[in-house]
Chain A
């Protein structure tokens, strides 16, 4: 079983719609959860970090974490064509000083004008 799983997509949504991206992880002791956006040929760019159960909102983005279900999601409201990218979910399974991140393969999002 892969440690961090995401649907590869592509997920296609019309402009202005809500895009919902999902991620599950296998290590129950995971502490930190991150969503990164990656445009083709570019490096990952941090969108959100979340550490506690519940929702965390930042502008058009909302991250949701449910540790009991080992599930983290990212909602993008009012999707724009510029949101078209691959969204990577990353999990840090350890507290303390080892900052290794475990990555999903990413979900490709296409926002259609």
Chain B
């Protein structure tokens, strides 16, 4: 059983650029959640995808967008990058449904916006 993977591990961008982060969910999981974690803070929920549909969104502007593919991998896209977007971006996968809701995290992508 493979765990959650994310790419890239580190990324440096400049203000105004666009970025795409990728996540492969754990085998057997159909739900992917994305979180932003600033230094010294807890993770903040961005959005969740369940079976290719958005299933909840946190308090993030529309320039944060995502999608989920038929194999349940997912992308997070951020347009018009701002300095405050510098953070650790975490992807978590879970089985979905009502039997369990435990989320397992990938290693994260560290994004630095200059």
Chain A residues within 8 Å of B, Cβ to Cβ: 4, 32, 34, 36, 41-46, 49, 88, 92, 95-106
Instruction: Find B101's partner among A41, A44, A92 (CB 8 Å cutoff).
Output: A92
Cα A97 to Cα B97 with chains together (Å): 6
Contact B33 A34 (CB under 8 A): no
Q: Say yes or no: B33 contacts A42, CB within 8 Å.
A: no
Footprint of A on B, CB under 8 Å? 31, 33, 40-45, 48, 50, 55-56, 58, 88, 90, 94, 96-98, 101-108, 110
Is B48 in contact with A100, judged by CB distance below 8 angstroms? Answer: yes
**B101 and A99 form a contact (CB under 8 A):** yes
Chain A residues whose CB sits within 8 angstroms of the CB of B103 once the complex forms: 34, 46, 99, 101
A interface SS class: loop
State whether A101 and B104 are in contact (beta carbons under 8 Å apart), knowing that A43-B88, A44-B90, A95-B98 are contacts in the complex: no
A41 to B33, CA, bound (A): 19
A97 and B102 contacting across the interface, CB-CB below 8 Å:
no
